[in-house]
Amino acid sequence: MKLAMIGFGQAGGKIVDRFLDYDDRTGSGIVRAAIAVNSAKADLMGLKNIPQENRVLIGQARVKGHGVGADNELGAEVAEEDIDEVQNAIDAIPTHEVDAFLVVAGMGGGTGSGGAPVLAKHLKRIYTIPVYGLGVLPGTDEGGIYTLNAARSFQTFVREVDNLMVFDNDSWRQTGESVEGGYEQINEEIVRRFGILFGAGEVGDGQEVAESVVDSSEIINTLSGGGVSTVGFASEEVDLNTGGGLLSRFTGDAGGDDNLDAANTTNRITSLVRKAALGRLTLPCEIEGTERALLVLAGPSEYLNRKGIERGRKWLEEETGSMEVRGGDYPREEPEVAAAILLSGVTNVPRIKRLQQVAIEAQDNIDDIQQESEENLEELVEDDEDELEPLF
């Protein structure tokens, strides 16, 4: 599936930058165009792969290239004021060759948190292709203001996109890591999971196209209907079997071993599917009640079989209670078999409820503190008996 990716704010830009790197490394061909939008000039300069002409600085008149300082209302305002600048960059990309937009942002900050929903709304008004969001939740240790920003951005972003895929930094935080080093790893995890998922619908020329291969319309159908999505993933290393495996299967050289191989292959797939669904999701949630799901099995084609995928799909149907579970192959010559599961329309997400609670507390605290400091200032400035008068 070919995407036009727009990274909004620092996290968004870095993640899209990383997607380009992933595309380069794996030849997956999912990023048809990449744009970064930011109100902070330094963040745009720090990107490595996004072309200079696709880096858009907004809000210059208001914040002079210094960013909005975690004020997401200001982030939304400058995005609205300078939406034409963003549109100019989008005009320069071949949108007719694109299956969907993906707007990526960290929801805890200012520029991306406020700007990404504004851009999504704008894109949906102009284009007929789907507009998806990839929103990153802040770690719980980042503090009240980030939580409040994320809770408000989440509500708005979900409403403005065709589907919001969520990644929770909190579940992926590693102790003892520097923040930057931690993000490196987290961003790699993000592009790997979403790369396999979106890469599935993008089998290149000359690649083997099996009947059961995932098509981009299946990804789009799984995401249609809106709501919130999460992605599960599990992988296992395998030998790339250069020369032997594939050929021997066609010529029948492997003889009696073939049955054993088929059983192993099926078992490997079914256990990977379970691990992916029950392991760490990009957004932790209860998978029961998921509206739609897509199971993608990626790996060398000799390690993929229809029986395994079919069993995995059935099992997912039972676990989620969904009647709409799609599944298929993504043949690629990497020394691993991987299961990526897109769970779309999840509703039982305690993490979001907790985020909202903390956000409301933070909001109340901020109001109290502001009122108190206004009172304190008045007490300081005014003389006790009100005997002095200001000049004007």
> With binding defined as CB under 6 A, does residue 163 bind ligand GDP?
no
* Per-position DSSP letters for 306-342, written without gaps between them: HHHHHHHHHHHHHHH--SEEEEEEEE--SSEEEEEEE
| Cα separation, 197 vs 216, whole angstroms | 10
Please state, as a whole number, how many other Cβ atoms lie within 10 Å of the Cβ of residue 111. Answer: 34
> With binding defined as CB under 6 A, does residue 187 bind ligand GDP?
yes
Given a contact cutoff of 8 angstroms between Cβ atoms, the answer to whether 123 and 16 are in contact is no
| Cα separation, 11 vs 387, whole angstroms | 54
In terms of CB distance, is 36 or 228 closer to ligand GDP? 36
CB of 368 to ligand GDP, least distance (A): 23
Q: Where are the beta strands (DSSP E) in 171-320?
A: 228-237, 292-299
> With binding defined as CB under 6 A, does residue 14 bind ligand GDP?
yes
CB of 138 to ligand GDP, least distance (A): 3
Name which position in 7, 59, 108, 195 contacts ligand GDP (CB under 6 A). 108
> With binding defined as CB under 6 A, does residue 10 bind ligand GDP?
yes
| CA–centroid distance for 151 within its chain | 16
Task: Please check if 363 is assigned to a binding site.
Answer: no
**Nearest to 199, CA basis, from 364, 37, 1, 20:** 1
- Binding to ligand GDP by CB under 6 A, coded x per residue (else -) over 45-74, reads ------------------------------
Residue 280 burial by Cβ neighbours in a 10 Å radius (0-12, 13-18, 19+)? middle
- Which listed range, 3-11, 49-57, 76-84, 279-287, lies at the site for ligand GDP (CB under 6 A)? 3-11
> With binding defined as CB under 6 A, does residue 136 bind ligand GDP?
yes
DSSP state of 263: H
CB of 216 to ligand GDP, least distance (A): 25
Q: In the range 235-254, which residues lie near ligand GDP by CB under 6 A?
A: none
> With binding defined as CB under 6 A, does residue 166 bind ligand GDP?
no
Residue for token pair 């992605």: 231
CB of 37 to ligand GDP, least distance (A): 10
| Cα separation, 18 vs 193, whole angstroms | 12
One-letter identity of residue 300: P
Given a contact cutoff of 8 angstroms between Cβ atoms, the answer to whether 36 and 55 are in contact is yes
Structural tokens at position 143 = 């503090």
Task: Please check if 207 is assigned to a binding site.
Answer: no
Task: Please check if 11 is assigned to a binding site.
Answer: yes
CB of 93 to ligand GDP, least distance (A): 22
Task: Please check if 169 is assigned to a binding site.
Answer: yes
Name which position in 33, 98, 101, 111 contacts ligand GDP (CB under 6 A). 111
Residue for token pair 């895929």: 165
Task: Please check if 97 is assigned to a binding site.
Answer: no
Count of residues in contact with ligand GDP, rule CB under 6 A: 21
> With binding defined as CB under 6 A, does residue 138 bind ligand GDP?
yes
Please state, as a whole number, how many other Cβ atoms lie within 10 Å of the Cβ of residue 306. Answer: 16
| Cα separation, 327 vs 219, whole angstroms | 10
CA separation, residue 70 to residues 147, 149, 167, 202, 362 (Å): 11, 8, 19, 37, 15
Name which position in 11, 158, 213, 281 contacts ligand GDP (CB under 6 A). 11
In terms of CB distance, is 14 or 268 closer to ligand GDP? 14
CB of 12 to ligand GDP, least distance (A): 6
> With binding defined as CB under 6 A, does residue 112 bind ligand GDP?
yes
CB of 130 to ligand GDP, least distance (A): 23
Given a contact cutoff of 8 angstroms between Cβ atoms, the answer to whether 32 and 4 are in contact is yes
One-letter identity of residue 373: S
Q: Residues annotated in the binding site, as ranges?
A: 10-14, 110-112, 142, 169, 187
Q: Residues annotated in the binding site for GTP, as ranges?
A: 10-14, 110-112, 142, 169, 187
Binding site for ligand GDP (CB under 6 A): 9-11, 14, 43, 106, 108-113, 136, 138-139, 142, 146, 169, 183, 186-187
